[in-house]
Structure 1
Amino acid sequence: MKKNLIYLLPLLIMLGGCKKYLDVNKNIDAPAYVDAHLYLANITQQYQGIYFDIRAIGPLTQMMGTTVDAYTNFANHFYPVGSDAGGEIWRVVYWTQGMNLENLINQSLAAEDWTLAGIGYAMKAFSWDQLTKVHGELPMNDAFVPELLSHNYDYQKDVYAQVREWAYTAIELLERADNHNYGSRISDNDFIYSGDKDKWIKFAYGVIVRNLSSLTNKANFSEAYAQELITAAGKSFQSADDDATVKVNGGSQSAPYDAYNNFWGTARPNLTYNYFQHEYAVQVFTGTVPAYDESTGDKIRLDTNPYHPFKLAERQIITDTLLNIAGHFDPRVSVKLSTTSNPTYLNLGNADNVKSYNYYGGNFTSKVGSIGTAPSFYGRNIASTFTGTVHDGTGRWIYRDDAPYILTTYSEIQFCLAETYFKIGQTSEAFEAFKRAVAADMQTTSRYIFPGKEGSATGGDKITKELFNTLSTQYVDGPFVNGLTDFTLSHIMMQKWVALYPWGAPEAWVDMRKYHYDIDYNGDYPSNGNGWIQALIDQKWDSNPSKVYKGLYLNPAQVQGRKGAYDVRNEGSPSYRLRPRYNSEYMWNLKSLETLKPIPGTADNYQTSIPWFAYPGEMPQ
């Protein structure tokens, strides 16, 4: 369409005359009517906004660290008023998709284009589900009402129910007989499933699964939500081939617009060396979660190996350091994490070589971690470059310029199902779903491997697909997955965290919040004096069998390297939500924010307001 416009506009000027073309009463950039299918391509591409905000949410989940001033706030769990950082998903739902998506749906319904309307409702459900999980309360019923100058907020419980209603509407529309001949109008503009109705139906069921999965810690989950989730999961994705991703053209430096490239690609300076993998991620992926002396909170130093200078926790959930025993090495580390080992990409198909790589992570706001310095996400200790003898080329894995945006996967759906079965006491069914989930993440991970050129320091992945697949089969058949004998909730949730790394940080943050960051408290949920005080968070020790995320400690915890404090305005609490976008709500909708309960949206500690999904019961008034 872009090329057509380039050639047609001069022709229209010549044929119709300048007088007609320059009619000031017509806005050529915002025509009165646009065919519904023409909205579709732009709406799907707006999902890059999720990757935009993961730079804020990643540090909250200890997937990422950052040195960028606007985002270190999130790493420190304090988000002050006055910035749009962390507000891109808000912008997507209300503006860049916004009325475009509403028009697509309404025009398609009027034309009885059921397939196109169903796709629109499926995306609307997905986007609003993502939005409320990040921000909590939202203007929903007032969102697109013409001529309103202020917009009342709806509480999350109501938004959740509406999300599922939209998803079921999508399914109903997509299952209707539709004899309209769309030609290539949908397939050419649908950058997710190319108009495949069956996959869109599975996607809509997946939205329902994700929505309900955040409620597993609700007191009434078993009777109110579990069966609906199980039913939806059975009708959702059936294999990794159903994964929902947004296609990206790429083109690197030769692309006509840099936005043709993936937001995390090397051609766009959005990760550079200002963001890096957190040391918690390295500990989990490499099986090096340290043991702590519970009387002091200090790590137990051994000094026998500079790469492993501390005593390791006896129980590692994902993998361990027995690299020479089949099934004890998780090959996802060599793809999902970055390393400066093997800079010239030698022997990428040699298992011993790949297993010898060293990985380092940073802290919350520093590249320097407890055992070394984290590299960039491209595997270098400098910002990315595009030319020269040593450079990053087009990136690696999902940090490639042409890598798709991952929205949700079969693996994620199976982890949601595993957690649900576990919560309702069906452990054998939970274990089967768990095994399917890990195996599927191996497939999803492998799909985006593009090995670097042998002997050339010009970017790419540091393992071949063939070796990865061999090692992944060994791992899945080994003691951490199929051969697991002490299956726990930690195995489900930590493997899910690994599967979501880092594209699914928003959902990982949902899980961490619903389990309250493994804070040690009494009663229904933590509060000041019951789980934290001003400068200290009391977190469960890894030895506590109820602790879900082994090795996870927040910054003001009681352990070495985690004895900081949050901003005093947090009153000791970690963050439970992001504030609404500043230039939307704090500039134009302040009075509505003031009415929110239990903490007003204008309060200094609004970001600590626990969302409805994380309360075992209803929100306190």
Structure 2
Amino acid sequence: MRKKERSMRKILCASLLTAGLFTATSCDNYLDVNTNPNGPDQVVAPQFYLPAIQSELALGIQFDARYIGKYVQNWNQNSANDVWDQHGFVASSDASGQLWRAIYYSMGANLTDMISKAEQDKKWDFAGVGYVMRAFGWQTLTDYHGEVIVSQAFEPGRTSFDYDTQDKIYEEVRRLTLLAIQNLEKTDGAVATSQLKQGDLIYGGDRAKWIKFSYGLLAINEHHLSNKSSYNPDKVIEYVDKSLASNADDASVRFEGAVSNDTNFYGPRRGNMNTYRQSKFIVGLLDGTNSALRDADLIGLDPKFAGQHLKDPRLPVMLAPAADGEYRGVTPGVGVTEYVEAQRPRNLWNTPTDVVAATTPNKYLFGNNERFPIMTYSQLQFIKAEAAFLKGDKALALDAYTKGVKAHLDFVQKYAVNDAATPEDEAAVYAQRRKLYEASEDLIPLNAADLTLPKIMLQKYIAQWGWGFLETWSDLRRYHYNNEVFTGFELPNPLYGLNQGKPAYRFRPRYNSEYMWNVSALEKIGGLNPDYHTYEMWFSKK
């Protein structure tokens, strides 16, 4: 898991292919750099590591989104009694363990070597990106699993590894991120010729954007502690103000989409999402039926659905209708069978059947060559809005909330032209709905006193739908699945039997890593107990 020998050839080959750096040299010949057949004798240039490291992180999140996406009800299974729909798990399986593999194995020692080589060559920008990628990986992994292995993770010769507590991991994320900023701000050494642009699939070598990304990570790290007495909303606001300044700063990973190995995991070419259906919860947030995002003055104003509440302009772009043209979602654990066939929601690509052609046109984030977001401006504005609201500064909260809503409306609008046979009409309807939506004082208040916490959290949920699963789950757990904050959100009924009536708060560690080889360490943290996945996280506790 944590040894670089087994993955180095594959990682570097994938990096070179992804970055488009090959000429006529084969991968095997290019990488014949070792005299030791069991491991590399030398560390290669940083730009050869970075593309695979970035894509593996994105793919790790996307792989496991098939499960966490059900926990947070972005989507659910089209059939009944799915254990993940019920906040359960599949025993003796690596399902939901891809992120673990990405952080420890695919990134793992390769990322360590990249940072070491960058520091040796005084390529401070590569070192900075390496440190913040490692920090982002730890933040992601601990928010997903709780206690994970950090301090001993890459120690050579170890056969067992102790778990670190979440508070220590959060401290390590802060330390690494601040170290990343220090390196990214350096302009001496070999920064001018470091070739970061060649290897960076996220920002194309833009150091200024990586610094903003780092401050965004600090904001997320700090804001997750909102239930702690030490929580400092002013620090969160400060970090957000230093982070992404507009949608142009959004962080997303590039995929080419021409072949399966370099295709977005959500793309029809990969065929990974055919049996998933949008949830009833997300449909309610976008169709005007959720009471927190409903304006009685908008009833009867929709240009496409006569007599109905104005639909959120994002609805037809993000979601898929049923055969009868109406938008519906599935209930966790129930599937599509609660509807007659003509009323059943279609899959995420909006195709009539689940046998989906590889060349099916892109829809929202579910395209072969669509970029996958990992941090966005709108997400951070909603974090700022919540921090200001909790502080009691509702004027600042409303300003950030308004910027967040409008930024996400901009984010989605660029996909409108890809979603219909008559794209001009699709774009025109989007603009028409958006004008009415933004004019609603219920949806976007003019008076700060009218802003509510549910509005902030539900608009953030919409903005993160389809990509920000871990941040959405962190929000749900911080509020302990409170459906007065997340209006309309209902836990599955029944919950998985081993849960003992409790919702999930973490995913169990990767089976073939920990439950096969690290049992004694697992036992110390309760990881062998059948309800371990319901143990509350440190960050969400009072």
> TM class, shorter-chain normalised?
0.7 to 0.9
Alignment match of 1:8 (pick from 25, 49, 55): 25
Contact 2:219 2:239 in 1 (8 A): yes
Shift of 1:64: 0.8
Q: For residue 89 of structure 2, what is the aligned residue in structure 1?
A: 79
**2:326 alignment partner, one of 346, 358, 381:** 358
Q: CA deviation at 1:217?
A: 2.5
Q: What residue number does 1:248 align with?
A: 255
* Cα deviation, residue 36, structure 1: 1.7
- Structure 2 matches for 1:20-35, cutoff 5 A? 25-27=35-37, 30=40, 32-35=42-45
Tell me the SS of whatever aligns to 1:128.
Answer: helix
* Offset, 1:145: 0.6
Q: Secondary structure at the match of 2:539?
A: helix
| Counterparts of residues 89-100 of structure 1 (less than 5 Å) | 89-100=99-110
The answer to whether the 8 A contact 2:83-2:89 is kept is yes
Q: Does 1:418 align with 2:385?
A: yes
Q: CA deviation at 1:122?
A: 1.4
Q: Is the 8 A contact 2:131 2:179 kept in 1?
A: yes
- Which protein shows a greater Rg? 1
C-alpha deviations, 1:200-251, integer Å up to 9, x for none? Answer: 0000001111112222222332xxx322211111100111111101111112
Q: How far does residue 397 in structure 1 lie from its aligned partner after superposition?
A: 1.3
User: What is the rounded CA distance, in whole Å, between the counterparts of 1:113 and 1:249 in structure 2?
Assistant: 27
Correspondence for 1:44: 54
Aligned AA (1:65): N
**Equivalent in 385, 395, 398 of residue 431 of structure 1:** 398
- The answer on 1:517 being equivalent to 2:527 is no
Q: How far is 1:572 from its partner?
A: 1.2
Which moved further from structure 2: 372-381 or 274-283?
372-381
Taking the aligned partners of 2:129 and 2:273, their CA distance within structure 1 comes to: 32
Structure 2 match to 1:397: 364
Query: Can you give the 5+ residue segments of structure 2 that lack an aligned partner in the other structure?
Result: 1-15, 304-308
Equivalent of residue 165 in structure 2, options 155, 159, 168: 155
In the alignment, is residue 236 of structure 1 matched against residue 243 of structure 2? yes
Q: CA deviation at 1:159?
A: 0.4
Contact 2:330 2:336 in 1 (8 A): yes
Report Cα offsets for 1:584-616 as digits up to 9, x if no partner. 1111111001111xxx01111100110001101
Q: Could you tell me how far apart the structure 2 residues matched to 1:384 and 1:10 are?
A: 34
d(CA) in 1 for partners of 2:294, 2:399:
17
Once the two structures are superposed, residues 147-187 of structure 1 have per-residue CA deviations (whole angstroms, 9 ceiling, x without a partner) of: 11111100001101111111111111111123525547211
> Aligned with 2:101: secondary structure?
helix
Q: Residue 61 of structure 1: CA displacement? A: 0.8
Deviation of 1:279 after TM superposition, in Å, equals 1.2
Question: Where do 4+ consecutive residues of structure 1 move more than 6 Å?
Answer: 10-13, 21-24
Structure having the higher helix fraction is: 2
* Distance in 1 between residues matched to 2:41 and 2:424, nearest whole Å: 49
Q: For residues 298-344 of structure 1, what are the alpha-carbon distances to aligned partners after superposition, in whole Å with 9 as ceiling and x for unaligned? A: xxxxxxxxxxxxxxxxx3426676251799431011111111468xx
Verify: 1:333 aligned to 2:309, yes or no.
Answer: no
Q: 1:207 to 1:68 in 2, by over 3 A?
A: farther
SS at match of 2:481: helix
C-alpha distance 6-111 of structure 1, shift in aligned 2 (>3 A): closer
- Give the equivalent residue in structure 1 for 2:441: 479
Partner of 2:6: none
State yes or no: 1:552 paired with 2:481: no
In 1, are the aligned partners of 2:34 and 2:40 still within 8 Å (CA)? Answer: no
Decide whether aligned partners of structure 1 residues 271 and 59 sit closer, same or farther in structure 2, where only a CA change above 3 A counts. same
Task: Specify the code of the residue in structure 2 equivalent to 1:336.
Answer: M
User: Is the Cα contact below 8 Å between 2:505 and 2:533 reproduced in 1?
Assistant: yes
1-structure distance, mates of 2:353, 2:372: 25
> Does the alignment pair 1:378 with 2:349?
yes
Equivalent residue letter for 1:413? L
**How far, CA to CA, are the matches of 1:77 and 1:187 in structure 2?**
41
Q: Mark the CA change 1:463 to 1:59 in structure 2 (over 3 Å): closer, same or farther.
A: farther
| Displacement after TM superposition at 1:384 (Å) | 4.1
Which sections of structure 1, spanning at least 5 residues, go unmatched? 14-20, 290-314, 343-356, 456-460, 519-539, 541-546, 557-563, 617-621
* % identical aligned pairs: 31
Match of 1:521 in 2: none
Take 1:322 and 1:408, find their aligned partners in 2: how far apart are those partners? 34
Structure 2: which amino acid aligns with 1:549? Answer: F
Q: What amino acid does structure 2 have at the position aligned with 1:419?
A: E
The superposition leaves residues 543-598 of structure 1 with CA deviations (integer Å, 9 ceiling, x where unpaired) of xxxx1011111123xxxxxxx2430x2221111000011111111111001111xx
Structure 2 counterpart of 1:287, which letter? G
Query: Which amino acid is 1:271 matched to?
Result: M
1:60 is aligned to 71
Residue 59 of structure 1 deviates from its aligned partner by 0.8
**8 Å CA contact retained: 1:377, 1:399:** yes
Is 1:317 the counterpart of 2:293? The answer is yes
SS of equivalent to 1:612: coil
Letter in structure 1 aligned against 2:410: Q
Matching residue within 492, 495, 498 for 2:456: 492
Question: Equivalent residue for 2:335?
Answer: 367
Q: Which amino acid aligns with 2:326?
A: N
Counterpart-to-counterpart distance in 1, 2:73 and 2:94: 22
Paired AA for residue 286 in structure 1: D
Q: How does 1:292-303 map to 2 (within 5 A)?
A: none
Judged with a 3 Å threshold, the aligned counterparts in structure 2 of structure 1 residues 182 and 582 are, in CA distance, closer, same or farther, namely: farther
Which has the larger displacement, 133-142 or 120-129? 120-129
Is 1:614 matched up with 2:540? Answer: yes
CA distance in structure 1 between the aligned counterparts of 2:430 and 2:541, rounded to whole angstroms: 41
| Cα pair 1:555 1:565 within 8 Å, conserved | yes
Q: Which residue of 1 aligns with 2:271?
A: 269
**Relative to 1, partners in 2 of residues 1:331 and 1:81: Cα closer, same or farther, differing over 3 Å?**
same
Pair 404,462 (structure 1): closer, same or farther in 2 beyond 3 Å: farther
Q: Deviations over 1:491-548 (max 9, x none)?
A: 1001100111121122111101111111xxxxxxxxxxxxxxxxxxxxx6xxxxxx10
Cα distance in 2 for residues equivalent to 1:239 and 1:601? 42
Query: Is the Cα contact below 8 Å between 2:227 and 2:540 reproduced in 1?
Result: yes
State whether residues 286 and 319 of structure 1, in contact with CA within 8 Å, keep that contact through their aligned partners in structure 2. Answer: no
2:54, 2:445 → 1: CA distance?
A: 40
Q: In structure 1, the residue corresponding to 2:283 is in which secondary structure?
A: helix
**For residues 462 and 583 of structure 1, what CA distance do their matches in structure 2 show?**
51
SS at match of 1:276: strand
User: Is the 1:266–1:384 Cα contact (8 Å) retained in structure 2?
Assistant: no
Aligned partners of 1:12 and 1:120: how far apart in 2?
27
- Three-state SS of the structure 2 residue aligned to 1:613 is coil
For the residues of structure 1 that align with 2:253 and 2:27, how far apart are their CA atoms? Answer: 33
Q: Judge conservation of contact 1:244–1:408 (CA < 8 Å) in 2.
A: yes
Mark the CA change 1:240 to 1:268 in structure 2 (over 3 Å): closer, same or farther: same
Displacement after TM superposition at 1:377 (Å): 0.6
1:578 aligns with 2:499: no
2:11 alignment partner in structure 1: none
Residue 34 of structure 1 and its aligned partner are, at CA, apart by 1.5
Contact 2:495/2:503, CA 8 A, preserved across alignment: no
Please state whether the residue corresponding to 1:406 is helix, strand or coil: strand
Flag the 1:436–1:6 CA change in 2: closer, same or farther, 3 A: closer
| SS of equivalent to 2:198 | coil
Q: What's the C-alpha RMSD, in Å, of the aligned pairs?
A: 2.8
Q: Which residue of 2 aligns with 1:464?
A: 426
**Which residue of 2 is the match for residue 259 of structure 1?**
261
Code of the residue aligned with 2:485 in structure 1: it is: V
